[in-house]
A = this chain, B = another copy of it.
Amino acid sequence: ERLGFPEVVFGAGKTLEVLTEILQAYQAKGLNALATKVQPEKGKQLLNTFPNAFFEEVSGIFMLEQPQQNKKPGPQVAILSGGSSDAYVVNEAFHTLNFLGCGAKRFNDIGIAGIHRLLAKVEELKSFSVLIVVAGFEGALPTAVGGLLPQPIIAVPASVGYGVSAGGQVALNAMLSSCANGVSVVNIDNGYGAAMAALRIVKALTR
């Protein structure tokens, strides 16, 4: 644990054995632990060893303890996304925030192909302290949000698309080039990083 951020385990490139060892070390100390990008098969096998743990297949989030369902106090984070294909990133951010003790709410399927869907949420969105905005394809949602709302915005490109937009590079570059004011960006598919960036702001707000 550094600077009040809990250690988070990068699950994608670790074998089942290594992950199990690391998680058992946390458990032995009586600590909760979060692993990200755990592939489905590996996650299911971990549940055998850690039967009380939480694993969500869509995002690959694994936690030793069940997420707390009660509304968290303090500044709230909104997570917006263009479509249901972005759910894996949205959920990674959502469960990470939950793990960190931050309140968060998801606003799915409000991409700018139907701008009225976003407009209908603007009032509700004004009450959130930080906005995480996820989008694939041409990644235009953060620009639209940035033109409508004044809060800190963390944009997350999703690797959703095909042809030139396969892999998320176009969404990433469009977000970095946004003509909206003051949008900052994290790595493609990095819902975890967006949650951590939001946490830095939430901490500043409650200091």
Assess whether A163 is interfacial by the CB under 8 Å rule.
yes
* Number of chain A residues close to chain B: CB under 8 A: 84
Q: Is A76 an interface residue (CB 8 A)?
A: no
Chain B positions within 8 Å of A193 at CB level: 181-184
- Contact among B139, B147, B197, B198 with A174 in the assembled complex (CB-CB below 8 Å): B139
| A2-B187 contact given A111-B179, A168-B163, A204-B205, CB 8 Å threshold | no
Q: Is the CB of A186 within 8 A of B185?
A: yes
How many protomers of this protein does the assembly include? 8
- A188 within 8 A of partner (CB): yes
On whether the beta carbons of B181 and A196 are closer than 8 Å, the reply is: yes
Question: In the assembly, what is the distance between CA of A184 and CA of B157, in Å?
Answer: 12
Q: Does A26 contact B (CB under 8 A)?
A: no
| Candidates B150, B151, B163; contact of A177 at CB < 8 Å | B163
Given A10-B85, A114-B2, A162:B37 Cβ within 8 A: yes
